[in-house]
Structure 1
Amino acid sequence: MNAGLQALVREAQATGRIAGLPGQHFIDGRFVPAARGGRMETFDPGTGEAFVTFAAGDADDVDAAVRAAQAALRGPWRSMAPGDRGRLLWRIAERIRASADRLAVAETLDSGKRLSEALGDVAGAAATFEYYAGACDKHQGDSIPLGTGHLAFTLNEPAGVTAHIIPWNYPLSTAARGIAPALAAGCTVVAKPAEQTPLTALMLAELCAQAGLPAGVCNVVTGTGAAAGAALVRHPGVQHISFTGSVATGIDVMQAAAPHVTRLVLELGGKSPVVVLADCDIEQALEGVLGAIYENAGQICSAGSRLVIAREIHEVFVDRLQARAEAMQLGHGLRDCGMGPVSSLAHRDRIAGYVSRARARGVRVRTGGQACADPQTGRGWFYPPTILDDLPALDEAVQDEIFGPVLAVQLFDDLAQAVALANGTAYGLVAGVYTRSFAAAHQLARDIDAGQIFINEYFAGSIAVPFGGNRRSGFGREKGMEALRSYSRIKSVAARIS
């Protein structure tokens, strides 16, 4: 840990915050208060205490941000050459890296995640802007052969004003994942971060402006989903919506967008299986399963929340997994223990409810299963690593997205049963496979219905790999060159030339 980061951590531990955190909307290139003067608090999950207030926006603030984005779309941003946009995005990446320590500490305080995880998210955000910086002048159309008497080609045009509804579990990562390709495609942005985690989206918008992004191109409005988020997704000036969150809210977003026929990319829930075959590298699979469910306290849409394992290695594998789970220390994210808190008291109670009901049904709780606090301070919202063993296919803990550090274990006897169990929920976001068999790995990759398959490394890939789900996990793709296409409209031009 460098000296600057150490100083920020000490400041946060001593005062509960760091100085200079943003507390207003970022609209048209500057911080502005809420139109009606509303304020609300954001809480540190590691202590359970509020540590800063911020603007509580509503439809008036959203309208001001959309109007600023519309005006910017007609301004110099429209005529900026793709190569110049790329250089600007590269400068944003440099600003993110230069501010990494401050962004990471703010993210830890706001979301509760471990400091090392937050630092990884900041590095990922910078890499995202770098990737799309290089893509700006390579997002080209096609020439279509109609014969010697005609000329036909396609142009990629920006979708327009894009709305980004950002979740609380990965505030900076998800903001960058949507904003960077939108800017690369030439769009303008209005982002609404989750009310639980507003800070790093505001900090990112300020860094964009400092890097030279024209006023109005990237705007951030904070507030509740009901007051600000709903107003944004139903605003007639929005041409594209990128939403990451729950299935229920995603359905509401679709309905709100329908009257204006607004384009959508929805990244919703998951109940992702990690399929472990008997011939796997046990150590590799243990590490993968552990990270898949307990990173960010299991609060990941793509978390490997189901272990689908060969019966013949089940007991040995789960015994070793249990020992590793029980060795994980809980603590405030700034102490960078084995696992941090969950996002709120209400969310902790929701997780606890699932486990309590499972125990009442006679499910074997191998470890964990009781809500707790930071063992050092007695404060905060914590839930320990938990394993529910040998669950039937239709059990509530198998079918529902718990969104916490709770692993549901299912057993199979052959590959066909493994596929059936893997596909046995309403979700289809990602899946993991651990095996030494090339043939089995790719048979499973073919047969499992998910938007992304990880083989022998969970969370494999990078910003270059498209990401999104099937079925109730949503539709459309973020990341990779697919995201540029999501934020673009194709215009076809055909001409008779002889």
Structure 2
Amino acid sequence: MSRVAEALIGEYFASGTLAQLPSRHFINGQWCSPASGRQLETFDPGTGRAFAAVAAGDAEDVELAVAAADKAMNETWRKVLPVERSRILQRAAEGIRTNAERLAIVECLDNGKTLDEARGDVRSAARLFEYYAGAADKLQGDSIPLGPDYVSFTHLEPVGVTAHIIPWNYPFSTAARGLAPALAAGCTAVLKPAEQTPLSALLLAEILHQAGLPAGVCNVLTGTGAEAGAPLVANPKVCHVTFTGSVGTGSLVMQAAARNITSVTLELGGKSPAVVLADCDLEAAVEDVLWGIFSNAGQICSAGSRLIIERSIHGEFVERLALRAAQLTLGHGLKNPHIGAITSLEQLNKISAYVDEAKKRGVNVVVGGARGVDPQSGEGWFFQPTVLDNLGPMDRLVQEEIFGPVLAVQVADSVEEALLLANATPFGLAAGIYTRDITKALRLARDIDAGQVYINEYFAGGVETPFGGNKLSGFGREKGLEGLGSYCRSKSVTARI
């Protein structure tokens, strides 16, 4: 562990907080107090105690942030050359890497995830800015052949002011996932992080400002969804909304945006299947399925939260999986256990309610099934890695997103039945396939209704691969070159000569 990390972790456990954490909005290139004067506490899920406070924003703060973004769009940012946008984003990537340890520790405290997971998120965010820095000066249109008497071409323009509603499960990397392509395309932005995890977006805005981003191009305001998020997505000067979160809230965002004919990208819930066929590499598949559901304490939209397994290997596979799950340690994220805390007490209660209800009706809990605490302090919001076996296709544990370390197991008697089970939910975000037969794998990949399919490695891919869902999992794609599409509009120009 680096000396920086050791010093910060020591400071936190000695004082219960960290020095110089942001506590105000970042609007128009400067720190701004909320119009209401109110603040919101932010909690360390590993202890269940507040360790910082941020501005409680409302509609008045939203208006200031959107006005700053609109002014910067019209007066400053649109005049910056694409190559200079590229350089700013590259400097931002370097700034993230320079501050990586502090960013990871703050993310760990705010979210509850393990330090290793937070470090991975920071690396991913830096890579996102690096990737889109390379695209900023390569956004070009097409020449359209209309014959010798015409010149016709398309020109890509930024859509304008963009709003980004950031979730609490991956606050730093998700902020970067939407912001980097928006800035690369020439848009300005207003970010509203989740009230549970507000700090890293504020730190990101500061890094961008230090990288040379003009005032007003990136603004971050904190507050609740009702008081800050709702007026942001409903603001008529916002030209595009990127939202990551629950299906219910995503529907409300879409309705609010529709009143202004504002476009949206929605990355919503999932109930993604890991389809394990009898000819798989059993040992490798067990390990991969384990981390497909228990990474980030299962708080991942695309988590492999359903195991669909052929009957002939069902018993052995679940037994091995349960043994591995029982070996995983819980604990405060800064102590780097296998699994960190649940981000909020509200979410912990939701997870617990699902599992308690399943126990009452006799569902087979193979492993886990109860709340936990940090073993050293006896504090925090934790839930044991849990496997629930042999569930029917319409069981609520199969059909509904739990968003926690809970795996629902379904048994199939054939590849054809496995496909039917995989598609038998209202979600379509991701899917995993485990088999040595590439023909079976590619046929399943073709026929499973999901935005991304992983073969023999869950979460395969990276910044370069498009990400998004079908059905209730949303629409639009982020990451990769497709991620730029939401932030550009095409203008055709035709001249008779």
Q: How big is the shift at 1:75?
A: 2.0
Deviations 1:248-283 (A, max 9, x none): 000100111111000100000000000011111112
Residue 95 of structure 2 is matched in structure 1 by 95
Matched residue SS, 1:74: helix
Deviations 1:201-241 (A, max 9, x none): 00000000000000000000100000000010000110000
Matched residue SS, 2:197: coil
Matched residue SS, 1:165: strand
Amino acid at match of 2:257: A
Q: How big is the shift at 1:347?
A: 1.2
Q: How big is the shift at 1:343?
A: 1.2
Partner Cα separation in structure 2 for residue 226 and residue 247 of structure 1: 16
Q: State yes or no: 1:469 paired with 2:469.
A: yes
Matched residue SS, 2:85: helix
Partner Cα separation in structure 2 for residue 277 and residue 42 of structure 1: 44
Residue 187 of structure 1 is matched in structure 2 by 187
Residue 26 of structure 1 is matched in structure 2 by 26
Residue 323 of structure 2 is matched in structure 1 by 323
Residue 198 of structure 2 is matched in structure 1 by 198
Amino acid at match of 2:45: P
Residue 65 of structure 1 is matched in structure 2 by 65
Q: How big is the shift at 1:47?
A: 0.1
Amino acid at match of 2:188: T
Q: How big is the shift at 1:144?
A: 1.1
Mapping of 1:226-375 within 5 angstroms? 226-375=226-375
Deviations 1:297-332 (A, max 9, x none): 000000000001111111111111000100001000
Amino acid at match of 2:396: E
Partner Cα separation in structure 2 for residue 87 and residue 236 of structure 1: 31
Q: Which moved more, 1:157-166 or 1:279-288?
A: 279-288
Whether the 8 Å contact between 2:105 and 2:334 is mirrored in structure 1 is: yes
Partner Cα separation in structure 1 for residue 118 and residue 311 of structure 2: 37
Q: How big is the shift at 1:408?
A: 0.2
Q: State yes or no: 1:145 paired with 2:139.
A: no
Partner Cα separation in structure 2 for residue 408 and residue 208 of structure 1: 42
Partner Cα separation in structure 2 for residue 17 and residue 281 of structure 1: 46
Mapping of 1:209-220 within 5 angstroms? 209-220=209-220
Residue 429 of structure 2 is matched in structure 1 by 429
Amino acid at match of 1:37: G
Mapping of 1:372-411 within 5 angstroms? 372-411=372-411
Whether the 8 Å contact between 1:73 and 1:161 is mirrored in structure 2 is: yes
Partner Cα separation in structure 2 for residue 129 and residue 345 of structure 1: 33
Partner Cα separation in structure 1 for residue 10 and residue 436 of structure 2: 46
Partner Cα separation in structure 2 for residue 180 and residue 47 of structure 1: 33
Q: How big is the shift at 1:80?
A: 1.1
Q: Which moved more, 1:243-252 or 1:364-373?
A: 364-373
Amino acid at match of 2:137: D
Partner Cα separation in structure 2 for residue 142 and residue 432 of structure 1: 37
Amino acid at match of 2:477: R
Partner Cα separation in structure 2 for residue 245 and residue 200 of structure 1: 17
Partner Cα separation in structure 2 for residue 427 and residue 10 of structure 1: 43
Q: State yes or no: 1:130 paired with 2:130.
A: yes
Whether the 8 Å contact between 2:330 and 2:372 is mirrored in structure 1 is: no
Q: How big is the shift at 1:8?
A: 1.0
Identity %: 61
Matched residue SS, 1:43: strand
Q: How big is the shift at 1:292?
A: 0.7
Q: How big is the shift at 1:345?
A: 1.5
Matched residue SS, 1:260: coil
Q: Which moved more, 1:283-292 or 1:63-72?
A: 283-292
Deviations 1:64-99 (A, max 9, x none): 000000010012311111111101100000000000
Amino acid at match of 1:319: E
Partner Cα separation in structure 2 for residue 377 and residue 281 of structure 1: 39
Query: Unaligned regions of 5+ residues in structure 1, if any?
Result: none
Amino acid at match of 2:273: P
Q: State yes or no: 1:208 paired with 2:203.
A: no
Q: How big is the shift at 1:372?
A: 2.0
Partner Cα separation in structure 1 for residue 315 and residue 381 of structure 2: 31
Matched residue SS, 1:105: helix
Whether the 8 Å contact between 1:17 and 1:109 is mirrored in structure 2 is: no
RMSD of the TM alignment (CA)?
A: 0.7
Q: How big is the shift at 1:150?
A: 1.2
Whether the 8 Å contact between 1:112 and 1:341 is mirrored in structure 2 is: yes
Partner Cα separation in structure 2 for residue 404 and residue 28 of structure 1: 37
Whether the 8 Å contact between 1:271 and 1:399 is mirrored in structure 2 is: yes
Matched residue SS, 1:26: strand
Q: How big is the shift at 1:481?
A: 0.8
- Which consecutive segments of 4 or more residues in structure 1 shift more than 3 A? none
Amino acid at match of 1:4: V
Residue 168 of structure 1 is matched in structure 2 by 168
Matched residue SS, 2:165: strand
Partner Cα separation in structure 2 for residue 169 and residue 58 of structure 1: 23
Amino acid at match of 1:486: S
Partner Cα separation in structure 2 for residue 14 and residue 282 of structure 1: 45
Deviations 1:92-118 (A, max 9, x none): 000000000100000000000000000
Partner Cα separation in structure 2 for residue 14 and residue 397 of structure 1: 41
Whether the 8 Å contact between 1:139 and 1:484 is mirrored in structure 2 is: no
Q: How big is the shift at 1:284?
A: 1.6
TM-score w.r.t. structure 1 length?
0.99
Matched residue SS, 2:135: helix
Partner Cα separation in structure 2 for residue 143 and residue 427 of structure 1: 39
Partner Cα separation in structure 1 for residue 199 and residue 253 of structure 2: 23
Partner Cα separation in structure 1 for residue 372 and residue 101 of structure 2: 29
